[in-house]
């Protein structure tokens, strides 16, 4: 039996109250701090996923717990009771009958925990090790234990062998992965790998932070897998708040030495589409021998760490290259209880892009049309006085609809951290992860004539809080109407995407024709094309048969690719898609 998933993953992401402070100086020295921002956002990032005793365990940052599933579609939250709640990048590793757990605490020794039965939420402490950030524990086939860590834009990813009893290092640290933005295009910082110049009116704080952080990429988020006797060390770059957050991979015959940069880098990369970003993740095998990659996806509007989790098909090709398929990485995907083709194309296509949307009311700069623009970073918002807000999409004709994804947005500025909580208080940032249950309640209806509506799903009385809910249906529809009944903290209704999927009534688009495919720098190429599709997926790779990278665009017929590797010959193809299907273009070498 198959089930659908659609990124971002449909789980009850936890709210965080965040208070960001900034230093106050007299021009020469620090004299205090002041509050720069207060916000409440949902966050889950840096996902570690493992299959343990027939269940999938998902551990993300800043969640005070983890999610467990039998099928990767339906996830149940489990609260952790005795592990560090506010330490970033939790790592889990299956070692025999145990799951081992650790998380980041860079400036003091970190602890390791383990459990034979994680579902009770209790892990026993194993050992106190050493300070680290973004950890990755790995148990080799021969029983030896290795550890990888690092998260800066100055130092590399390190590795070391550990004593499995004390978790202390055996031998010296080994430097494995350094940033190399001069030769690896995907490691360059900034949206689309372009960091804008500071404006002339930039504040002293903005200037200070640009000088303090610099423009080198963050090299972080290690994860290790072993396939066919080879070690695949994955790492993230350039920074989590950009659309180009990605995972690369180095490969070796040895767990600590001899690593070489893989030709098909970046391994995991999703800079376009409804939700972007695919970095700092984990690669795991399911019950049927399929590989998957879970990674961080960005919103980064309310706060730069406003993030979600995505899961994508992955695999090893005949040449031993690790790949990840993100071509339609935010379209519905069927999970099947068998070996699957990781390059299988979508069963359902987007019917709602650019379609007419209307609403009961609209806040300034938040029109209903923003719910169909395929951008999670923009949204419809109702007027604050609207007591019964609704949003409606007109598909323009009657279609066979198979899935609807409802994506809520959060606008909770200026909220102080609640008193009498276990909030983490730091010099320049304080945060509190919400423990109390929250609810998202709504009614979804459909119609063919905008007069007679029937109920698709009624969640007006649920106890759940799913901000990216996915509804599977089989219906003929033209109109989809969402009525929002209750949201956490009584916030005003806001929807970043009311996305409708199914099968169109017409033909696939014509084949796209590449007009220009030329290098415009060591790490860049300018691509232009013509076609009549709704959207385009630009595919490229280091051989005509290995177009493993993709960038999805809507409403454009040109793109500058900035994730190329220096000196590497590259091929490109343009696939056009519409409501009915995909038409592949011709493969062409980039000159």
Interatomic CA distance for residues 549 and 561, integer angstroms = 10
Beta strands in 110-156 (DSSP E): 111-115, 124-128, 136-139, 145-149
Instruction: Report, in angstroms and rounded to the nearest whole number, the Rg of the chain calculated over CA atoms.
Output: 24
Interatomic CA distance for residues 95 and 105, integer angstroms = 22
**Exposure class string for 372-392: b at 16+ Cβ within 10 A, else e:** bbbbbbbbbbbbeebeebbbb
Interatomic CA distance for residues 555 and 533, integer angstroms = 9
Q: What is the pLDDT of residues 89-123, one digit of tens each?
A: 999 999 999 999 999 987 899 999 999 999 999 99
Q: Where are the alpha helices (DSSP H) in 409-452?
A: none
Mean local confidence (pLDDT), 325-336: 97
Q: What is the pLDDT of residues 31-89, one digit of tens each?
A: 877 888 899 999 999 999 999 999 999 999 999 999 999 999 999 999 999 999 999 99
Residue pointed to by tokens 């300034």: 364
**What is the DSSP annotation of 190-204?**
SGGG--PPPPTT--H
Q: Predicted confidence band at 2 (pLDDT cuts at 50, 70, 90)?
A: low
Q: Has residue 297 got a pLDDT over 70?
A: yes
C-alpha distances out from residue 296 to 43, 102, 312, 398, Å = 10, 19, 11, 36
State both tokens at 338.
Answer: 């068998």
Q: What is the pLDDT of residues 215-263, one digit of tens each?
A: 899 999 999 999 999 999 999 999 999 999 999 999 999 999 999 999 9
Interatomic CA distance for residues 570 and 539, integer angstroms = 10
Q: Who contacts 142 (Cβ-Cβ below 8 Å, separation ≥6)?
A: none
Q: Has residue 8 got a pLDDT over 80?
A: yes
Q: Predicted confidence band at 304 (pLDDT cuts at 50, 70, 90)?
A: very high
C-alpha distances out from residue 569 to 271, 442, 544, Å = 21, 51, 10
Interatomic CA distance for residues 513 and 528, integer angstroms = 9
Mean local confidence (pLDDT), 565-590: 98
pLDDT of residue 403: 98
SS3 209: helix
pTM: 0.96
How much is the mean pLDDT over the chain?
A: 95
State both tokens at 337.
Answer: 């209880």
Mean local confidence (pLDDT), 454-460: 98
State both tokens at 60.
Answer: 């993300």
Q: Who contacts 77 (Cβ-Cβ below 8 Å, separation ≥6)?
A: 11, 12, 65, 66, 67
CA dihedral (271, 276, 277, 281) positive or negative: negative
More confident residue, 494 or 202: 494
Beta strands in 141-245 (DSSP E): 145-149, 157-162, 169-177, 220-227, 230-237
Interatomic CA distance for residues 575 and 250, integer angstroms = 29
pLDDT of residue 27: 65
pLDDT of residue 205: 62
- The total number of residues written for the chain in this structure: 591
Q: What is the pLDDT of residues 356-390, one digit of tens each?
A: 999 999 999 999 999 999 999 999 999 999 999 99
Interatomic CA distance for residues 11 and 76, integer angstroms = 8
């Amino acid at each position: 039996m198959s089930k659908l998933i659609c990124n971002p993953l449909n789980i009850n992401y936890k709210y965080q109250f965040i208070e960001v402070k900034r230093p106050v100086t007299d021009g020469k020295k620090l004299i205090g701090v002041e509050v720069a921002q207060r916000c409440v956002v949902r966050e889950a990032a840096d996902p570690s996923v493992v299959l343990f005793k027939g269940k999938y365990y998902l551990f993300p940052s800043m969640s005070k717990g983890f999610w467990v599933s039998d099928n990767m579609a339906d996830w149940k939250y489990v609260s952790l009771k005795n592990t560090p709640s506010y330490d970033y990048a939790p790592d889990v590793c299956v070692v025999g009958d145990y799951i081992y757990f650790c998380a980041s605490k860079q400036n003091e020794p970190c602890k390791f925990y383990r459990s034979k039965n994680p579902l009770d939420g209790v892990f026993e402490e194993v050992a106190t090790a050493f300070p680290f950030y973004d950890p990755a524990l790995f148990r080799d086939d021969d029983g030896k234990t290795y550890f990888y860590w690092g998260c800066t834009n100055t130092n590399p990813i390190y590795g070391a062998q550990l004593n499995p009893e004390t978790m202390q290092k055996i031998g010296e640290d080994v430097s494995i992965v350094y940033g190399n933005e001069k030769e690896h295009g995907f490691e360059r910082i900034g949206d689309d790998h372009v960091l804008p110049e500071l404006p002339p009116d930039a504040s002293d704080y903005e200037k200070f932070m640009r000088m303090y952080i610099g423009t080198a990429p963050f090299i972080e988020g290690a994860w290790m897998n072993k396939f066919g006797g080879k070690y695949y060390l994955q790492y993230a770059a350039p920074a989590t708040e950009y659309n180009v957050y990605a995972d690369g991979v180095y490969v070796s015959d040895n767990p600590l030495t001899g690593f070489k940069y893989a030709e098909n880098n970046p391994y995991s990369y999703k800079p376009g589409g409804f939700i972007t970003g695919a970095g700092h993740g984990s690669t795991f095998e399911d019950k049927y021998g399929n590989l998957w990659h879970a990674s961080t996806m960005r919103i980064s509007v309310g706060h730069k760490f406003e993030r979600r989790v995505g899961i994508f098909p992955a695999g090893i090709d005949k040449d031993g290259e690790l790949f990840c398929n993100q071509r339609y990485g935010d379209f519905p995907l069927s999970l099947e209880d068998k070996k699957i083709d990781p390059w299988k194309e979508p069963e359902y296509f987007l019917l709602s892009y650019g379609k007419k949307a209307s609403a009961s009311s609209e806040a300034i700069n938040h029109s209903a049309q923003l719910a169909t623009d395929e951008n999670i970073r923009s949204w419809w918002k109702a007027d604050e006085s609207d007591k019964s807000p609704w949003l409606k999409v007109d598909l323009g004709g009657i279609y066979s609809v198979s899935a609807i994804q409802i994506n809520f947005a959060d606008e909770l500025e200026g909220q102080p951290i609640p008193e009498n909580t276990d909030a983490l208080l730091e010099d320049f940032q304080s945060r509190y992860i919400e423990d109390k249950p929250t609810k998202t309640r709504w009614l979804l209806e459909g119609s063919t004539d905008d007069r007679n509506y029937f109920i698709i799903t009624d969640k007006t009385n649920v106890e759940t809080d799913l901000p990216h809910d996915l509804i599977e249906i089989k219906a003929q529809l033209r109109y989809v109407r969402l009525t929002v009944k209750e949201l956490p903290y009584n916030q005003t209704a806001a929807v970043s995407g009311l996305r409708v999927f199914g099968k169109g009534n017409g033909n696939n688009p014509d084949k796209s024709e590449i007009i220009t495919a030329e290098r415009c720098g060591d790490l860049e190429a300018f691509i232009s094309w013509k076609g009549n599709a709704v959207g385009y997926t630009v595919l490229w790779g280091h051989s005509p048969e290995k177009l493993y990278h993709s960038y999805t665009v809507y409403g454009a017929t040109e793109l500058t690719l900035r994730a190329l590797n220096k000196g590497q010959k590259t091929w490109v193809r343009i696939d056009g898609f519409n409501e009915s299907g995909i038409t592949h273009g011709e493969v062409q070498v980039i000159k």
